[in-house]
């Protein structure tokens, strides 16, 4: 499903050059639950942006479902981000003063889902994450864990094959973090491919595979077979 081949990313400005990713290679198959773990500044968010088709590598290739992402048009990239990938961010990225229901419906507005269908689907996914009784609450009326569950419901409404989460428990209390991890494990059992970025080892432990990254390089991959194949 995902092939990352010899990917490097260099950020340049007038005076400095930062190599955020240095010749990274791995594959992720459909149905995997992978954590990408590393300390702050190791290149995790950079890798997430590339995997999410939000940014492109400086060199190397990213192949998603057989298509080289770096060669796609902006329209096609926008479509991939809307339909193929569900994003979950550390800061939730919900609209303030807007109900859980409206937040969850938003991707469907851009995704050409019939109006009659939007509400039913939003309701279904909010119930799935245990927020059936909070659908009319605005973001500011919800706890961190609840906001992240709204964001997870939002990530699911276009039925994406991949869920990409960047530090999903970074801004929430630890008792609520385990609820979030339980939801990801359920989703993975239902067949969703999950890629979760974290700097916390106890959060990474919930995944089936851990890719360790340091200074822009993969230093360990618990799925060694995949590491061999990616070379
Ligand atoms: N837009 C940018 N411009 C310049 N340097 C950047 C930019 N984004 C990230 N970096 C640098 O790239 C490295 C990796 O950053 P990042 O991918 O955000 O790491 P992490 O998410 O693991 O903390 C860091 O040294 C960071 O300072
Ligand atoms: Mg980061």
Q: Which residues surround ligand 2, an ion (CB under 5 A)?
A: 44-45
What is the pLDDT, as a whole number, of residue 231?
43
Is 85 exposed, middle or buried, given 0-12, 13-18 or 19+ CB atoms closer than 10 A? Answer: buried
Quote the pTM value.
0.91
Domain boundaries, the chain: 31-45+73-221
What is the pLDDT, as a whole number, of residue 95?
96
What is the pLDDT, as a whole number, of residue 111?
83
Model confidence pLDDT, tens digit, residues 150-202: 999 999 999 999 999 999 999 999 889 999 999 999 999 999 999 999 999 99
40 C-alpha vs ligand 2 centroid, how far in Å?
A: 7
Answer yes or no: CATH 2.102.10.10 is held by domain 31-45+73-221: no
The reply to whether ligand 1 has any atom less than 6 angstroms from the CB of 90 is no
What is the pLDDT, as a whole number, of residue 225?
52
What is the pLDDT, as a whole number, of residue 227?
47
What is the pLDDT, as a whole number, of residue 92?
95
The reply to whether ligand 1 has any atom less than 6 angstroms from the CB of 46 is yes
Query: Is residue 6 a contact partner of residue 61, using CB atoms and an 8 Å limit?
Result: yes
Nearest ligand 1 atom to the CA of 216 is: 14
pLDDT under 70: residue ranges of the chain:
224-231
């Amino acid at each position: 499903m995902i092939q990352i081949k010899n990917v490097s990313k260099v950020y340049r400005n007038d005076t400095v050059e930062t190599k955020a990713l240095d010749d990274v290679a791995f594959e992720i198959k459909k149905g995997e639950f992978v954590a990408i773990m590393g300390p702050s500044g190791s290149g995790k968010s950079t890798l997430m942006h590339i995997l999410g088709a939000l940014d492109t590598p400086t060199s190397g290739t990213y192949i998603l479902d057989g298509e080289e992402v770096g060669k796609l048009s902006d329209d096609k990239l926008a479509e991939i981000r809307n339909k193929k990938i569900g994003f979950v961010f550390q800061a939730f990225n919900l609209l303030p003063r807007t109900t859980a229901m409206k937040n969850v419906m938003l991707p469907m507005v851009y995704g050409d889902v019939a109006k009659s269908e939007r509400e039913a689907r939003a309701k279904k996914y909010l119930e799935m994450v245990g927020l059936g009784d909070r659908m009319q609450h605005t973001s500011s009326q919800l706890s961190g864990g609840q906001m992240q569950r709204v964001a997870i419901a939002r990530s699911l409404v276009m039925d994406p094959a991949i869920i990409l989460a960047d530090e999903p428990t970074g801004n929430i209390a630890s008792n609520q973090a385990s609820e979030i991890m339980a939801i990801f494990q359920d989703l993975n059992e239902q067949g969703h491919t999950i890629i979760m970025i974290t700097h916390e080892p106890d959060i990474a432990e919930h995944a089936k595979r851990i890719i360790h990254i340091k200074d822009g390089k993969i230093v360990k991959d618990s799925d060694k077979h995949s590491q061999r194949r990616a070379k």
